[in-house]
Amino acid sequence: MKKIILLVCLAAMTAAQGKVKSDYKSYTGFTCDPAPVLPEKETHPSLWFKQSDVARLRALKNQDAIAASLWKQITESPLLTMEFLNVPAASDDNKVIHTYYGSMSQLAKYAGFMAWMTDDPELRARYVERATKALERAYDGPIRSLDPKEQSGPVDEIYMGTWLQNYAAAYDWVQPFLTPQADQAIRTNLAAEAERVATNLYNWANSPHNHLSKPAWGAGSMALALSSEPKARSWLGAALKAANENTRYFFSSDGIYREGSHYMTFSWINFVPFMHHYLNVSGVNQFKDYQPLMEWGIAARNNKGWLPNIEDSYIRPFPGHMTAAAYRKSTTWLHSSAPLSEVLMWGYKTTDMTPFDTSVKNGGYNYTGASMDYALPLDEYLTYDPAIKSTPPDCSPTVFLKGGQTTFRNTWKSGDPSARYLLFQGVAEADNHQHAEHLSFILFAENQMMASDGGYSRGSYTDELRKTWYNKAPAHNVITLNGAPPQDVAESVTPVSRYRMDTAFFDFEEKDAPYPKGGLLRRAVAFPGQSYFVVADIVTSPVAAPAVLYLHGGRGTISGTNEYRRWNYSQDVYGSAAQLHTWIFGSDPELSIKDEVGELTYLKGDYAPFPYIMAKASGMEMTFLQVLFPSKTEKGVPVVSSVREGSQVWATVTGTDATDLFLVQPRPEKAVFQGLETDATFFWIRTDKKGARQLAVREATFVRRNGKVLFQSSEPRSGAQDLRASAAFVDSRN
């Protein structure tokens, strides 16, 4: 066993040492049809709606409170009334230049839209004039003399994609009202920008990340707006090719965006408009290709509707209402009969937007990552359909994704304090925004963020602390060996997931990943009684080495000594007052546990220092067992104790009506404790006054209690059994 592990790790090390550039074809995400399709005739409006849809859009504001709120945001936007900004100079501050191009493109879009939302001829004329003037000034100033490759520069290509889509929509809406002379001048300018972007996609981006895909989707939308232009087909073809390179490498086939939900959302603001434009103009439906992403957005959300702040990310809502209408007839594994559209609408309507609304109010930042460029309420209004029902998923709330993420849940209900959620992260790393967080986890319970990830950074990708703290192992719930976190066994190869159990009384999964200097982490998460969590770790090393377990408890204070800590959370913008009780046990008799302090952030700018735990051990074979017990108060907290026997660790969790007993050991050897005997590498049994109730095992051939056989097999098996239901042993799904 040790020899195999060592050889695998050495192979991974050799590959890493010899790698000069990532192989961007090494991952199998998904792609769309690359053949460009343009309409037979260019018509306007057509990108977002046709003239026949205008009455519906005008009436939408009166359909429900959501539509009314979006309409209010649109009509009260300062972009409809503000003076045009002065044209900047190349020597101006970056923010001044960025604000100019972002604001002017949005200004054109807002005015163009409102021209269709009124019957008043004079008001319409004013909106048309405003949009036309903004379009005539598009890309004036120094923009074409500035280098988009300048990191965090004022005209980065990731902004340019959004500006293109803003101007494409504005032109599409204003075109029927333009004079031939104004129309030709605007078209010539916009076509020049589409040509510039489409031909420079690969000059500006050195990999298929969002610096390639965002401007590509922008160029694609402009190609659809100017579909009769001679080069429109080549622009669209270039856009489709570049976008496919992004989705092939940065998305998993089951919808996970490998670099975190922040950059998924940052890309969403470009690929969702493009998909709507392509469907409306050319009849090409890419939504079916993106369906796994839409399903992931439901599977990965916590019970407040927030996507995790893992990798380079802040917490994010999932704006599924912007795509729900495209999935009215789409079946989904999330529900036995309802279409995906209804599940997406449920996801949106049950999302707690409090922290995101607070962020906008306090700092001006919306959740898109493009507050200076993107017309969020306008696109929401254009895509929202209040007629779609809201239907929660009816599949198991515990979800195993082959891309490497697992979400353990006991319910899909939102706002329920008894809801429990743990996300177990084991996704193959990409090459850009990754953090040292392989096999980490985050926990949400009692309507509060608890065992949490450190997050993205204070403010942006270029923050120095991002590189020295946020993306390092100590900022995450991981275990290091020789100071290094686990890694992929090979480029773009997802860590192994096995022994998956999903029952009414016990859920379980194990993942493993190697260490760069040899060694292996086997980390398992158990969900006993679907009320609390146990994390069992086996760390093996070819030579004696130090291992450090990190546990972050989120935005709470901490108390406790030895193996126990109590995390206390006050009611805040992220959730309710609550507690998390944790115990850490290990096989090393010299195990040391100490409190440290590190920075954490859930949203941009909202950072502060919070406590975390470091548990240190040393050896060639180390086991750890963590008990994570959320509660409203201290009432009902179990009594927890542990016994160590060599590399075997037993833990007892005694509650008011039952006792849970756990074992973790590195090899299938006979283990004995208080009348129980088993050779399982992980073992759980629940007993009460009537005796044994349920059990689960990993890699076991027997379980005996006081001489009575509870489980017997001729070969190692993994699974769970309800001993009182006369149910058969349920084998795990590997």
Q: Residue 5 above 80 pLDDT?
A: no
Closest CA to 417 of 526, 553, 575: 575
| 372 DSSP assignment | T
Asked if residues 211 and 197 have their Cβ atoms less than 8 Å apart, the reply is no
Asked if residues 669 and 645 have their Cβ atoms less than 8 Å apart, the reply is no
Q: Is the dihedral of CA 403, 405, 408, 411 positive or negative?
A: negative
Which residues does 350 contact at the CB level (< 8 Å), separation at least 6? 305, 390, 392, 414, 415
Q: Residue 380 above 60 pLDDT?
A: yes
Euclidean distance between CA atoms 250 and 264, whole angstroms: 9
| 674 DSSP assignment | T
What is the Cα 417 distance to its own chain's centre?
Answer: 23
Which residues does 191 contact at the CB level (< 8 Å), separation at least 6? 226, 229, 231
pLDDT of residue 597: 98
pLDDT of residue 6: 37
Mean pLDDT of 15-39: 83
| Burial (CB count <10 Å: 0-12, 13-18, 19+), residue 463 | middle
pLDDT of residue 656: 86
Q: Residue 19 above 80 pLDDT?
A: no
Euclidean distance between CA atoms 396 and 389, whole angstroms: 21
Q: Please report, for residues 67, 365, 532, 549, the alpha-carbon distance to residue 73 in angstroms, rounded to integers and kept in the order given.
A: 10, 15, 42, 47
Residue 729 sits at φ, ψ, to 5 deg, of: -60, 130
Measured distance between the N- and C-terminal CA atoms of the chain, rounded to whole angstroms: 19
pLDDT of residue 20: 57
Mean pLDDT of 629-633: 95
Top-confidence residue, 471 or 6: 471
Core vs surface per residue 577-590: b (16+ CB within 10 A) or e? ebbbbbbbbbbbee
pLDDT of residue 21: 81
Q: Residue 15 above 70 pLDDT?
A: no
CB atoms within 10 A of CB 233: 15
Q: Residue 92 above 70 pLDDT?
A: yes
Tell me the sheet residues that pair with 598: 610
Which residues does 53 contact at the CB level (< 8 Å), separation at least 6? none
Tell me the sheet residues that pair with 607: 601
| 390 DSSP assignment | -
Q: Helix, strand, coil % (nearest 5) of the chain? A: 35, 25, 40
Mean pLDDT over the full length of the chain: 95
pLDDT digit string, tens, across residues 498-550: 999 999 999 999 999 999 999 999 999 999 999 999 999 999 999 999 999 99
At 151, is the pLDDT very low, low, confident or very high (cuts 50, 70, 90)?
confident
Q: Please report, for residues 384, 386, 415, the alpha-carbon distance to residue 66 in angstroms, rounded to integers and kept in the order given.
A: 9, 8, 19
Q: Residue 445 above 80 pLDDT?
A: yes
At 474, is the pLDDT very low, low, confident or very high (cuts 50, 70, 90)?
very high
pLDDT of residue 4: 36
In the structure encoding, which two tokens stand for residue 401, read together? 């994704």
Q: Residue 97 above 60 pLDDT?
A: yes
Mean pLDDT of 340-348: 98
- Given the structure tokens 């975190």, which residue do they identify? 260
Mean pLDDT of 572-586: 97
pLDDT of residue 14: 38
pLDDT of residue 275: 98
Closest CA to 585 of 645, 675, 520: 645
pLDDT of residue 17: 38
E strands in 341-485 = 399-400, 405-409, 420-425, 441-445, 448-449, 479-481
Mean pLDDT of 80-91: 97
pLDDT digit string, tens, across residues 194-249: 999 999 999 999 899 999 999 999 999 999 999 999 999 999 999 999 999 999 99
| 458 DSSP assignment | S
Q: Please report, for residues 101, 147, 447, the alpha-carbon distance to residue 131 in angstroms, rounded to integers and kept in the order given.
A: 14, 27, 45
Mean pLDDT of 705-733: 94
Single-letter residue type at 365: Y
pLDDT of residue 734: 75
pLDDT of residue 616: 98
Q: Residue 37 above 70 pLDDT?
A: yes
Domains of the chain: 44-250 (1.50.10.100), 286-395 (no CATH), 399-633 (2.70.98.70)
CB atoms within 10 A of CB 597: 10
pLDDT of residue 635: 85
Q: Identify the weakest region by mean pLDDT among 39-53, 373-387, 682-696, 719-733.
A: 719-733
Percent of the chain exceeding pLDDT 70 equals 97
Give CA angle at 170 (164, 172), nearest 5°: 100
Tell me the sheet residues that pair with 30: none
In the structure encoding, which two tokens stand for residue 298, read together? 């439901």
Single-letter residue type at 21: K
In the structure encoding, which two tokens stand for residue 514, read together? 């190697």
At 13, is the pLDDT very low, low, confident or very high (cuts 50, 70, 90)?
very low
CB atoms within 10 A of CB 682: 25
At 633, is the pLDDT very low, low, confident or very high (cuts 50, 70, 90)?
confident
- Given the structure tokens 């489409």, which residue do they identify? 198
pLDDT of residue 307: 98
Which residues does 169 contact at the CB level (< 8 Å), separation at least 6? 47, 48, 109, 112, 113, 221, 225, 273
Top-confidence residue, 347 or 9: 347
Mean pLDDT of 464-486: 97
pLDDT of residue 44: 98
Asked if residues 380 and 324 have their Cβ atoms less than 8 Å apart, the reply is no
CB atoms within 10 A of CB 183: 18
pLDDT of residue 565: 98
**Residues present in the chain in total:** 734
pTM higher than 0.85, yes or no?
yes
Q: Residue 450 above 80 pLDDT?
A: yes
pLDDT digit string, tens, across residues 661-711: 999 999 999 999 999 999 999 999 999 999 999 999 999 999 999 999 999
- Write the DSSP assignment of 637-670 as a string of letters: PPEEEEEEETTEEEEEEE-SS-EEEEEE-SS---
| 239 DSSP assignment | H
CB atoms within 10 A of CB 690: 8
Provide Rg for the chain, Cα atoms: 28
- Given the structure tokens 């993420």, which residue do they identify? 405
- Write the DSSP assignment of 186-219 as a string of letters: HHHHHHHHHHHHHHHHHHH-SSSSHHHHHHHHHH
Euclidean distance between CA atoms 35 and 398, whole angstroms: 38
Residue 563 sits at φ, ψ, to 5 deg, of: -85, -5
- Given the structure tokens 């709330």, which residue do they identify? 397
